[in-house]
């Protein structure tokens, strides 16, 4: 079996050759008023093909503030969140050739990079992140705040807003509070099975909204 090291910051889903869809090239990726997946994918492809700095700027302007927002919700102080957002987008630049627009949306890929960087930083040198850790703030965002932070004109924002409250709550704890199933169950005083089924139901209801976001 052929084994190749996968880049540190990749989604570690295995080595894959970049496949670039011809004709997907966008003349512009302006229009950052909404998450236009195809357009942002095109930006990453342009970075891979010709180191396109305008495409990078476009991605940066849209995603860096949102990655920062994501990290703040997970408890990072703003300075650390900004640094990690920078690092996330620089990783997008460096690893653009590993992005496969046929496999994932730009937002999905950037999410996995930010997620992995955060995990690796938090655990570097075996340090246990605590509330007095300089990289983490003392007051992590409350889960309900996180969901209300979704922009309500986005399809996913609308879909999440229409979830029953208990389903929205587990989605929020899972994605924006760094909680495993077992921790969510403990926090809400629910059996593990209930947490699992709420997450599953929420995923099923959000699937329709996700399908509308082209890769």
Partner 1 sequence: MIPQHHPTETLLVDYGTGALDRNARLVVAGHLGVCESCRRVVAEIEELGGALLAALAPAPLQPDALDMALARIERPAPVAITSTAPNDWIAVPWEVIEAARTRRRWAAPGVWVAPIARGPGKARGYLLGIAAGMGVPRHTHRGAEMICVLKGAYRDGDALHRPGDFAWNDETVEHQPRITSDGECVCLVAAGGPLVPRDWMGRIFQPLVGI
Binders of partner 1 in range 41-60 (CB under 8 A): 53, 56-57, 60
Distance of CA 52 to the CA centre of its chain: 23
Q: How far is the CB of 21 from partner 1 (least distance, A)?
A: 18
In the complex, minimum distance from the CB of residue 136 to partner 1, in angstroms, rounded to a whole number: 13
**Using rule CB under 8 A, residue 205 touches partner 1:** no
Those residues whose C-beta lies under 8 Å from the C-beta of residue 97, and which sit 6 or more positions away, are: 18, 48
Q: Which of 41, 107, 167, 169 binds partner 1 (CB under 8 A)?
A: 107
State the nearest-atom distance from the C-beta of 87 to partner 1, in Å: 9
Q: Are 12 and 97 in contact (CB under 8 A)?
A: no
Other C-beta atoms lying within 10 Å of the C-beta of residue 146: 22
Choose which of 45, 55, 101, 118 interacts with partner 1 (CB under 8 A).
Answer: 118
**Contact status: 116 vs partner 1 (CB under 8 A):** yes
**Among 169, 176, 177, CA closest to 194:** 169
Burial classification of residue 78, based on how many CB atoms lie within 10 Å of its CB (0-12 exposed, 13-18 middle, 19 or more buried):
exposed
Q: Is 35 in the site for partner 1 (CB under 8 A)?
A: yes
Nearest-approach distance from CB 203 to partner 1, in angstroms: 7
Is residue 90 involved in binding partner 1 (CB under 8 A)? yes
């Amino acid at each position: 079996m052929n084994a190749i090291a996968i880049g540190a910051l990749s989604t570690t889903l295995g080595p894959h050759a970049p496949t670039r869809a011809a004709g997907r090239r966008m003349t512009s990726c302006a229009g950052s008023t909404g998450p236009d997946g195809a357009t942002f994918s095109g930006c990453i492809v342009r970075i891979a093909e010709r180191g396109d700095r305008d495409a990078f700027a476009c991605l940066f302007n849209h995603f860096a503030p949102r990655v920062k927002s994501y990290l703040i919700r997970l408890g990072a102080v703003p300075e650390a969140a900004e640094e990690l957002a920078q690092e996330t987008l620089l990783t997008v630049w460096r690893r653009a050739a590993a992005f496969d627009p046929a496999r994932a949306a730009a937002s999905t890929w950037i999410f996995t990079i930010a997620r992995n960087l955060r995990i690796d930083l938090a655990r570097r040198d075996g340090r246990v992140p605590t509330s007095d850790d300089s990289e983490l703030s003392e007051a992590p965002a409350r889960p309900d705040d996180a969901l209300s932070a979704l922009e309500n004109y986005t399809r996913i924002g609308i879909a999440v807003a229409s979830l029953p409250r208990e389903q929205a709550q587990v989605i929020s704890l899972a994605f924006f509070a760094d909680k495993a199933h077992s921790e969510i169950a403990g926090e809400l005083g629910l059996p593990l099975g209930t947490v699992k089924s709420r997450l599953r139901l929420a995923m099923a209801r959000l699937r329709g909204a996700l399908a509308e976001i082209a890769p």
